Amino acid sequence: MWLCFVQPLMTELLYLPDDDTTYSFEATVETATEEYLVLDGTYFYPEGGGQPADYGTISWDGGEASITDVRKDHGDIHHVIGDLAGPLPTAGTTVSAQIDADRRERLTRMHTAQHVVSRVVLDEYGATTAGNQIHESRSRIDFETVEFDEADVERIERLSNEAIEADYGVVKENRPRQAVEAEVDDGRALLDLIPDSVDPLRVVEIEGFDMCPCGGTHVNQLGEVGTVTITDRTSKGKDTERIEFELTP
Ligand SMILES: [Zn+2]
């Protein structure tokens, strides 16, 4: 969905369009400060679209930094340093990077589950996803315009898990904007909010089930998501409903 769309940056985002499973890589330092490192390219996911940043470590000859946040900044990606051991690397230094794979995998499964639940709610209730926040252990989605009761919540959970059990393939690729605009269902993506200059669009398609532009990380087969359990439902003002869910395992 549009909320997790990422515009082109100067630091190349190497996980785009379809490599969500590279957790170790080498890169070249462009800028190094006490606060952050900028690389020529990265597989780290920078916070955005309701998906938190990856964590990990970056090491080089004589030093190592723990990475505790990753942020977009005017076209660059800042790998924010937690602990630093040894002197900072100079520009041009080759570094080895390791993403915290457990955390990334958890966020990837959660984010993909969000697509599934958003699609189920659009199909069954005609409600759009107004916002979402992914966490490792629990995530939430806000829907409008709709009102759920307990039976609705059970139905959303059941239909989401049926889709996951069907184990649809997930395709991630760049497509011409015009084609995306023609194909995406009304209410599934707020394309008007993505600047016209962004073309092509990175699309996430759950085959036979859902398609929307999105810049986040996603599983390759829907079965990898696990089982969705909706743990809470709250009304957030008129006609807006918030659903919280967890995943097992
Ligand atoms: Zn997504």
**Distance from Cα 87 to the centre of ligand 1, integer Å:** 37
From the CA atom positions of the chain, what is the Rg in Å?
19
Question: What span, in angstroms and rounded, lies between the C-alpha atoms of 247 and 233?
Answer: 16
Question: What span, in angstroms and rounded, lies between the C-alpha atoms of 17 and 194?
Answer: 17
**Distance from Cα 215 to the centre of ligand 1, integer Å:** 6
- 54 burial via Cβ count (<10 Å: 0-12, 13-18, 19+): buried
Lowest-pLDDT range of 73-82, 186-195, 213-222: 186-195
**Distance from Cα 116 to the centre of ligand 1, integer Å:** 10
pLDDT in tens, 137-172: 999 999 999 999 999 999 999 999 999 999 999 999
**Distance from Cα 129 to the centre of ligand 1, integer Å:** 12
Structure tokens at 50: 């309701």
Residue 66 CA, chain-centre distance (Å), reads 22
Q: Cα-flanking dihedrals φ and ψ of residue 243, to 5°?
A: -115, 135
pLDDT in tens, 70-126: 999 988 999 999 999 999 999 999 999 999 999 999 999 999 999 999 999 999 999
**Distance from Cα 51 to the centre of ligand 1, integer Å:** 9
Q: Which residue has the higher pLDDT, 10 or 219?
A: 219
**Distance from Cα 92 to the centre of ligand 1, integer Å:** 33
**Distance from Cα 147 to the centre of ligand 1, integer Å:** 24
**Distance from Cα 1 to the centre of ligand 1, integer Å:** 6
Helix (H) or strand (E) holding 98: strand 94-99
**160 touches 116 (CB < 8 A):** yes
For the cut 50, the answer to whether the pLDDT of residue 4 exceeds it is no
**Distance from Cα 186 to the centre of ligand 1, integer Å:** 17
Question: What span, in angstroms and rounded, lies between the C-alpha atoms of 142 and 20?
Answer: 26
